[in-house]
Structure 1
Amino acid sequence: MTLNKTVLLAVLSVLLAMVTIQTGASIAKQLFPLIGPTGTTALRVGFSALMLWLVFRPWRQLPRGRNWRAVIIYGGCLGGMNILFYMAIERIPLGIGVALEFTGPLAVALLSSRRKTDLVWVVLALGGILLLLPDMRGVDALDPVGVALALAAGACWAGYILFGQRAGNLTSGGATVALGMTVAACYLVPLGVYTAGWDLLSWQVLPLGIAVAVLSSALPYSLEMVALKRLPAQSFSVLMSMEPAIAAVAGLLILSELLSVSQWLAIALVIAASLGSTLSTRSQQKP
């Protein structure tokens, strides 16, 4: 596969992952009144781990010795990102939660930047995120706990990117995701069972839980691992700046949330940042 095709595959993988994640998040929010964000996270992570083990069979290429440390930290960040984000969007709107969570990948992009042109894309992405945020002093001010949870999820997202790359270099991408999801399931599933009990297996909940697992974890994290193995951490992070825009579009199409002029401008800014990062990566890889 040529370098250009490799970059294109990575970019398409990231875009598809973001679309499926936002679709899954919309379904997941419908489960909160039934089993809460903790129970929803348990179903998402638990079923995802089972699916990934069946598909990628990670027992054939397990890490050895100290290599497990990167996998365990990666899995811990993955699980923390999931549960903190769901706890956040229980209190604040989906699109705003995604925008706040993105502070993690944005920090990775900023700290790993080595060229002045890279900072331009980061600034554009940051401008788009700020436009997506409402006035915290107004009557519609966000729940401060929800804001804090979304920012904590962003910190876990940053760890997911950095340790995902390290863990992905130890074995195949699919096996890495399967192992990381298993680590997350080891502490999130018992927590979900404790809070939601047998409601997790009710006929109203179970089909939606499986759908959330596929759309929000099993499929997108596998796609993201494909991208992480083919893109630098900085380029991957700026590409992920499209996440708030996709969340806003999902809100319009699925939840009938109308977008303001400033929100459309924000979408344009983050798309510009993503395209700029992609083109920069492509030109850098040319011989």
Structure 2
Amino acid sequence: MLWGTTGTVQALAPEGVHPIAIGAVRLAIGGLFLLLLSLGKIHWRGWPLKGTVAAALCMALYQPFFFSAVSMTGIAIGTVIAIGSAPVIAGLLEWGIKRKVPQASWWASTALAIAGCILLFTNRGSVVADPRGILLALGAGASFAGYTMISGTLVNRRETLPVVAVVFMLGAFFLTPFLFLYDLSWLMEARGAGVALHLGVVATGLAYLLFARGLVKVPASTAVTLSLAEPLTATMLGVFLIGESLDALSWLGVGLLLLGIVLLVWGQRGKSELDKGQVRSA
């Protein structure tokens, strides 16, 4: 839900701010915030360098993909396509790379999510979906799925906070050139500074820390599908705060997305109870 505020906050930024600049600033502030929290907890001996670099690249790519998509297609549509595509990609990655077939509840909830995204895509309200924005949103979905799968492996080998801090600081380093290509004078304005701090501290640092801790307990495919709470939040904020409008079919799509989340949570809860029962039996 914290992630779902990013598109709306971007829309409230000072006029003329480039979406790539917002993404770069977001990652830089978020990474610095997490690094400060993890001081003294980072131990470099035996650090999984390849996985860290791969996760950082995925997160760095996600920023320009996502914010550019939202600027082209609107908050609701851009976020739904970006995050709605991620569960499918994450499930396929787990299946293809880890040979781990997702649970039945994942298949059902993902099908509902896809149907919901399709209905939102057909929206005939005030938002028009730009084909270029759709491709960028799909790129964001793939980047997010890759980050989730890799991070799931990292947090099972290392403490969560240091892993997230290092990944985000490295991701911010990859985006550093963009800080010199775009105007950053908006950060000197009160509204611009507020937008940057919210995106960096709340919607990045805190949100990804919570997400990474969740990855310790659930598979990457399940975690990504649960993150569909983001487009639901973004859609509601886009409609009620920014003034975007959705037609009846799009509202049905929102309902299907919500149903998919509920189904996945129910399925994961049932699996946890089954695992506990097996442990007690043993």
Alignment gaps of 5+ in structure 1: 1-18
Question: Please, which moves more after superposition, 125-134 or 249-258?
Answer: 249-258
Q: Is 1:245 aligned with 2:232? A: yes
Q: Is 1:57 aligned with 2:39? A: yes
Q: Is 1:93 aligned with 2:74? A: yes
Please name the residue that 1:6 is paired with. Answer: none
The AA in structure 2 aligned to 1:68 is L
Preserved CA contact (<8 Å) 2:3 2:204: yes
Preserved CA contact (<8 Å) 1:113 1:119: no
Please name the residue that 2:163 is paired with. Answer: 176
How far did residue 147 of structure 1 move? Answer: 1.3
How far did residue 254 of structure 1 move? Answer: 1.6
Secondary structure of 1:60's aligned partner: coil
Matched ranges for 1:187-202 at <5 A? 187-196=174-183, 199=185, 201-202=187-188
Distance 2:114 2:55 in 1: 25
Could you tell me the TM-score, scaled by structure 2's length?
A: 0.85
Preserved CA contact (<8 Å) 1:63 1:171: no
Question: Please, which moves more after superposition, 142-151 or 216-225?
Answer: 142-151
Q: Is 1:206 aligned with 2:193? A: yes
Equivalent of 1:35, from 14, 17, 20? 17
How far did residue 140 of structure 1 move? Answer: 7.0
Distance 1:30 1:93 in 2: 13
Matched ranges for 1:1-287 at <5 A? 19-31=1-13, 33-57=15-39, 60-62=42-44, 64=46, 67-102=48-83, 103-109=85-91, 111=95, 113-134=101-122, 141-196=128-183, 199=185, 201-204=187-190, 205-286=192-273, 287=277
Evaluate the alpha carbon distance shift between residue 140 and residue 272 of structure 1 in structure 2; reply closer, same or farther with a 3 A threshold: closer
Q: State the Cα deviation string for residues 229-264 of structure 1 (Å, max 9, x = none).
A: 111122212212333222211112321334332222
Aligned residues: 266
Alignment gaps of 5+ in structure 2: 278-282
Distance 1:81 1:234 in 2: 18
The AA in structure 1 aligned to 2:201 is V
Evaluate the alpha carbon distance shift between residue 281 and residue 209 of structure 1 in structure 2; reply closer, same or farther with a 3 A threshold: same
Distance 1:175 1:123 in 2: 35
Task: Give the superposed CA RMSD.
Answer: 2.4
How far did residue 155 of structure 1 move? Answer: 0.9
Distance 2:128 2:29 in 1: 36
Could you tell me the TM-score, scaled by structure 1's length?
A: 0.84
